[in-house]
Amino acid sequence: MSLDLDNVIFIGRTYDEYIDMFNLENLDNKKVLDFPAGACSFSAKNNSYAADILYDQSYENLEIVGKKSINLIYKNIDWINNTCTLSYYGDIFEHRREREEALSGFLKDYNKQRYSKQTLPNSTFKDKEFDLLLSAHFLFTYDDRFDYEFHKKSVFEMLRISKELRIFPLVDMNNSNLDKSRNFSPYLYRLLEELEDSGYICKIEKSNYEFQLDAGYFLKINS
């Protein structure tokens, strides 16, 4: 697979962002997977596992696309508009610094032992291989590109390979339902019904992290 650098966005979040995003604590002796992990540095600092469709790429390719992605997203910051808040970061410069720190930490740790090329809605992991699976800024974020069946199959696959799943955020990339009383992705409400019918325990929890307005929540699912 060769990367089309003009069409791939490869960015990530830091360990500290993940801790706040998912309200994480007591990770000792837990086998944790970040999936899809992109250029996140959580696994590097936590010495845990990460999976992504791009993890068959070389260090050099991922460094190129990562740095290009950061330059691209900050070239024009109109995307922040009225749907985001910088209160967590203080300003846009700190927001960018976190992206650069995440990429740097990821690249220093990137290896074939703990970083695995995987795709959704299927993976090669074993049943209940992980105690905790974290999934950030993919499901629901791109509900305009991936249909409901993809979301459903992906979530059930994540639950096949993990004992607990946490997903953040629950809104789409443009926060397009911000002005609605049910502001989360429409897919979330459908999925909750199916998960609960299948015997899963689902809970929407307030996160210690917020960037998109009124989107500081994550979904926690246990069997």
Model confidence at 53, in pLDDT bands (50, 70, 90)? very high
pLDDT of residue 1: 41
Mean pLDDT, to the nearest integer, of 38-45? 98
CA separation for the pair 220, 115 (Å, rounded): 24
Model confidence at 80, in pLDDT bands (50, 70, 90)? confident
What global pTM score does this model have?
A: 0.95
Provide, rounded to the nearest whole percent, the portion of the chain with pLDDT above 70. 97
Task: Give the model confidence (pLDDT) of 108-157 as tens digits.
Answer: 999 999 999 999 999 999 999 999 999 999 999 999 999 999 999 999 99
Task: Give the model confidence (pLDDT) of 61-78 as tens digits.
Answer: 999 999 999 999 999 888
Model confidence at 4, in pLDDT bands (50, 70, 90)? low
CA separation for the pair 108, 76 (Å, rounded): 28
pLDDT of residue 71: 95
Average the pLDDT over each of 3-7, 75-79, 90-94, 142-146 and give the range with the smallest value. Answer: 3-7
Mean pLDDT, to the nearest integer, of 43-69? 96
The phi-psi region of residue 23 (left if phi > 0; otherwise alpha if psi is between -120 and 50; otherwise beta) is left
pLDDT of residue 3: 46
Topology at the third CATH level for domain 15-222: Rossmann fold (3.40.50)
Mean pLDDT, to the nearest integer, of 45-52? 97
Mean pLDDT, to the nearest integer, of 44-72? 96
pLDDT of residue 7: 64
Distances (CA, A) of 45 to 16, 62, 101, 138: 10, 19, 12, 21
The H or E element spanning position 163 is none
pLDDT of residue 105: 98
| Amino acid, single-letter form, for residue 164 | E
Distances (CA, A) of 42 to 4, 22, 33, 78, 215: 26, 12, 10, 28, 21
Write down the residue that tokens 């791109």 correspond to: 142
Task: Give the model confidence (pLDDT) of 155-199 as tens digits.
Answer: 999 999 999 999 999 999 999 999 998 899 999 999 999 999 999
pLDDT of residue 209: 98
Model confidence at 8, in pLDDT bands (50, 70, 90)? confident
- For 6, residues 6+ apart whose C-beta sits below 8 A from its C-beta are none
